[in-house]
Amino acid sequence: MKQNLGLFDIDAIYPGNALKLMPGIPDGVINLIVTDPPFAIDFKAQRENYNRTGSHVMEGYQEIPEAHYRKFTRRWMTEAARVLAPEGSMYVFSGWNRLKDILEGLDSSGFTTINHLIWKYQFGVFTKKKYVTSHYHILFVVKNPACYTFNKIDHYPEDVWVINREYWKGKKKTPTKLPSEIIKKILMYSSNPGDLIFDPFLGSGTVAVGAKTEGRHFLGFEIVPEYFTFANERLSGTFTKNRP
């Protein structure tokens, strides 16, 4: 696949701030964006509340201050709308804490929401005076509601997905790694072989790895140097299907 990506190469990831890098992507070249942006919930302080060994969780997670989160969200979503192809779509993961800002950002950037998905997982942070949160929101949005990719791979595709987190017991991991199963499901529904998948907040690289494994092309950015290195290590060991 030969495609003009401006400052970037296809099937590559880059270190750095997404807000500074995204303007280097030409208009309308991305088929699908799948991303799990920072949540502005002081996640670093809560990492070891999960049932896992703290020494295996990589340091460096960079949060967005709560006071800046709305502006941050609108900035990256405006860029996302610009780089998406006319028939492109996007999946955004969000906790309930900043969901209002995510929804407002999507509206202000001109996206149309197709589905508000719920990802139910198997555990959450222990609580004493409120219900345990054991789900994420996934916003499925498009640029043009009259024309976008949706492969109905299931006869009755429901909007609640019960998918367990991946433990990676005894292995190095980032604190917010998405399960490979959920990324594969998104790719199967909303992209085709040869499409270009973009993640501006790459983390451990699961979106890029999933795209590579499933015969899609990828582009990704990651601001934390350790996470970027980890994502590159994962990509170098991934089996690549034949691409058109």
Neighbours of 201 (CB within 10 A): 21
Burial environment of residue 149 by CB neighbours within 10 A (0 to 12, 13 to 18, 19 or more):
middle
pLDDT attached to residue 49: 39
DSSP strand pairing (30-35 vs 196-199): parallel
**Range in 36-45, 46-55, 142-151 with the lowest mean pLDDT:** 46-55
pLDDT attached to residue 4: 81
Residues 6+ apart with CB under 8 A from 66: 40
- Residue 243 pLDDT > 50, yes or no? no
Chosen CATH of 31-192 out of 3.90.1710.10, 3.30.930.10, 3.40.50.150, 3.30.2320.20? 3.40.50.150
Question: Phi and psi dihedrals of 30, rounded to 5?
Answer: -100, 135
| SS3 of 5-73 | CCCCCCCEEEECCHHHHHHHCCCCCEEEEEECCCCCCCHHHHHHHCCCCHHHECCCCCCCCHHHHHHHH
- Residue 63 pLDDT > 70, yes or no? no
Torsion of CA 160, 32, 102, 9, to 10 degrees: 140
Question: What residue spans define the domains of the chain?
Answer: 31-192
pTM of the predicted model as reported, rounded to 2 decimal places: 0.87
Mean pLDDT score, 89-111: 95
pLDDT attached to residue 84: 98
Which of 94-98, 176-180, 181-185, 224-228 is the most confident on average? Answer: 181-185
Scan for tokens 């492109």, then name that residue. 88
Please give the angle made by the CA atoms of 76, 42 and 78, to the nearest 5 degrees: 5
Eight-class DSSP state of 173: B
Give the pLDDT confidence of 184-239 residue by residue, as tens digits: 999 999 999 999 999 999 999 999 999 999 999 999 999 999 999 999 999 998 54
pLDDT attached to residue 40: 54
Scan for tokens 């208009």, then name that residue. 27
- Residue 44 pLDDT > 50, yes or no? no
Eight-class DSSP state of 178: P
